[in-house]
Amino acid sequence: MPQKTENLKEKKSRPSWKWRLVVWIFNLCVLMGVVVAAYVMTIYLRMPSLDSILHETRAPAIIFLDKNGTEIRSANRIMGTPVSVENLPPFVWQAIVAIEDKRFFEHGPIDIRGITRAAISNAVRGTLASGGSSITQQTAKNIFLSREKKMSRKVQELILSYWLENRFDKNQILDLYMNRVSLVGGMRGIDAASRVMFQTGANNMTLAQAAQIAAMLKAPTTYSPLKNPEKNIARARVVLTEMVRQGYITLNQARVAAQSLRPATAAPDTNIYRYWTDFVMDEINSRVGAPESDLLVHTTLDMKLQEHVAATLSSHVGDYQGAVVAMSHDGAVRAMSGGADYQSSQFNRVLAARQPGSAFKPVVYLVALENGMTPDSMVNDSPFAIGDYNPKNYNARYYGDITLATAFAKSVNSVPLKLTETFGIDSVLNMAGRLGVGTSLRREYSTVLGASEMSLMDLTTIYAVIWNNGQSVRPYSITKITDPMGNVIYERNPSEPIQILAPQTVEYMSDLLANVIAAGGTGHRAAASGVLGGKTGTSNNNRDAWFVGANGNYVIGVWIGNDDFTPMSSKITGGTIPAEIFHDIVK
């Protein structure tokens, strides 16, 4: 009997299996909670600083502006101009909220109702067509800029979503979203998308355009107004319908906007400016060093002239290469094409050293004019040699006694050599130095006929001095550099020009250059209304063909040749394709 009582006590003190199950489940939950907490903490500790994520560093953007302040193109720009709910037309952000997260201003970091609705919809359809991410969650994704489909990635997203909601108000989160969302070409922000799609900033978008941008948010490529305009327009109509339902716009406003939905037009090809902007980039580095913040670079470029120059060059060069530079008489570079096609070759031939041939001869004639000769002075064109150097005229014909003007117009070779013998080669080299291009010239008689290499930019500068009334010219491409707030970082402050050539010398040389494009001159194909004059040049074996001329606004240099220095057709001289390119640019 006592033993039975003892067994009963023992039985009563032993927990039932139900209680043990409850305890086991509780312990398991605690353990799972600890594991999950540890996992979340590990993921959190591995995250970079949230502040550093938010204030992401990037290469400074450089925006190039033409002479009128119009944007040419940009470099390193991965984000558009920052926008905010406060400075945008309301319908821009309303379109985004209406289609992406209509309860955005009501729920917390996660839209539980939206997630539940999406889950039910997906279950019914048997697909994953519907998502439930809030704008806050999408902002977290955009900030992380990672597309990894891992659990750790989702945990980071949730952590950041709660952090964003605790630190910022809804308008600020929406600002972050609009400025970070990736929609086109690796660029981020609705402003960047608007500029690419509609060639206008986000603050200037119409209601229809805002709906088309919002339509892209679901799947940027699938609903792109450039690549899939029909799908984009169809979804933009859905956006407008949602905006009506949520009271953002009236039905009539939606109807008007729907009628103006159009496929987007791709932004103009900016490759025609790339030789120029590459050139300016080097100037930026020399003026202000490596940029530490975004820069607005005000340049001297004339966009219409640049487009015309690029098209004209491409239409003439054929199987050869070419280059054109146009500058104002004072040296402001207005257009530059360093090749026929930037995509196929980024080498800027405006800056390449080549033999200028007879295009160098004005330097010699300037020496003669400064020493008392005039265009009417008589000279003798006949075979002439300096040691073993005995170049012949291009057509192997000699004219005997002729005027200086005729010798220049027909580009004979013996006369500049004889002038050099008379006045000394040092006088020629000194003249080149005064004109700004003498440092790399060889002290040889072949230099007189253009055997010493120089760039098209340098050669054109020589002629610019003449047409700048004999005053010094230093080519320039930048007038001012500012930050986005308008603070001036660099501003051109030109010194007073130096009088290089006397007025009489300039007048005589201008007459000589005018004769070149007259009937019978080597550059007659360049003649057009308003042209002041010019000079042809052709190097040995037709490896280089040049023409430099001017009208009342510009001095324009043209070069044609092969990059590998192989000869062109014997029919191509400075008086053919280069002169024709010049003519077609200025006519």
* Joined tokens for residue 178: 């609009």
* Joined tokens for residue 580: 């024709």
Distances from the Cα of 199 to the Cαs of 91, 196, 205, 271, 402, in angstroms? 19, 6, 10, 17, 60
C-alpha span between 95 and 38 (Å, rounded): 40
| pLDDT of 146 over the 70 cut | no
| pLDDT of 292 over the 70 cut | yes
Is the dihedral angle over the CA atoms 441, 442, 445, 450 positive or is it negative? negative
C-alpha span between 141 and 143 (Å, rounded): 5
In the predicted model, what is the mean pLDDT of the chain? 87
Looking up tokens 């033409």 gives 66
Percent of the chain with pLDDT over 70: 85
* 13-27, 164-178, 529-543: segment of lowest average pLDDT: 13-27
Q: What is the DSSP letter of 190?
A: H
C-alpha span between 45 and 100 (Å, rounded): 31
Distant-in-sequence, close-in-space partners of 394: CB < 8 Å, separation ≥ 6: 411, 413, 538, 573
Give the pLDDT band (50/70/90) at residue 341.
very high
Residue 130 is predicted with a pLDDT of: 47
CA 238 remoteness from chain centre:
36
* Joined tokens for residue 123: 């279950």
| pLDDT of 114 over the 80 cut | no
C-alpha span between 313 and 323 (Å, rounded): 7
The whole-number average pLDDT for the span 268-290 is 88
C-alpha span between 479 and 464 (Å, rounded): 19
C-alpha span between 177 and 120 (Å, rounded): 27
Nearest Cα to 72, choosing from 441, 350, 335, 414?
A: 335
Higher pLDDT, 278 or 392: 278
Query: Please, are residues 257 and 208 in contact by the beta-carbon 8 Å criterion?
Result: yes
| pLDDT of 153 over the 50 cut | yes
Nearest Cα to 336, choosing from 312, 306, 362?
A: 306
- What residue type is assigned to position 565 of the chain? F
* Joined tokens for residue 25: 């489940």
| pLDDT of 576 over the 80 cut | yes
The model's pLDDT over 195-241, given as tens digits with 9 standing for 90+, comes to 889 988 899 999 999 999 999 999 999 999 999 999 999 999 999 99
Residue 19 is predicted with a pLDDT of: 73
The H or E element spanning position 74 is strand 71-75
Is the dihedral angle over the CA atoms 385, 387, 391, 392 positive or is it negative? positive
Residue 551 is predicted with a pLDDT of: 97
Query: Please, are residues 182 and 66 in contact by the beta-carbon 8 Å criterion?
Result: no
| pLDDT of 251 over the 50 cut | yes
Q: What are phi and psi of 489, to 5 degrees?
A: -95, -35
Max mean pLDDT range (190-204, 249-263, 373-387):
249-263
The H or E element spanning position 184 is strand 182-184
Query: Beta strands 295-299 and 62-65: pairing type?
Result: parallel
The count of other CB atoms within 10 Å of the CB of residue 119 is: 13
The model's pLDDT over 59-90, given as tens digits with 9 standing for 90+, comes to 788 899 999 999 898 887 667 788 999 999 99
Q: What are phi and psi of 176, to 5 degrees?
A: -60, -45
C-alpha span between 515 and 531 (Å, rounded): 11
User: Which residues on adjacent β-strands are paired with residue 389?
Assistant: 386
Q: What is the DSSP letter of 496?
A: P
Nearest Cα to 183, choosing from 104, 78, 57, 64?
A: 78
Residue 139 is predicted with a pLDDT of: 82
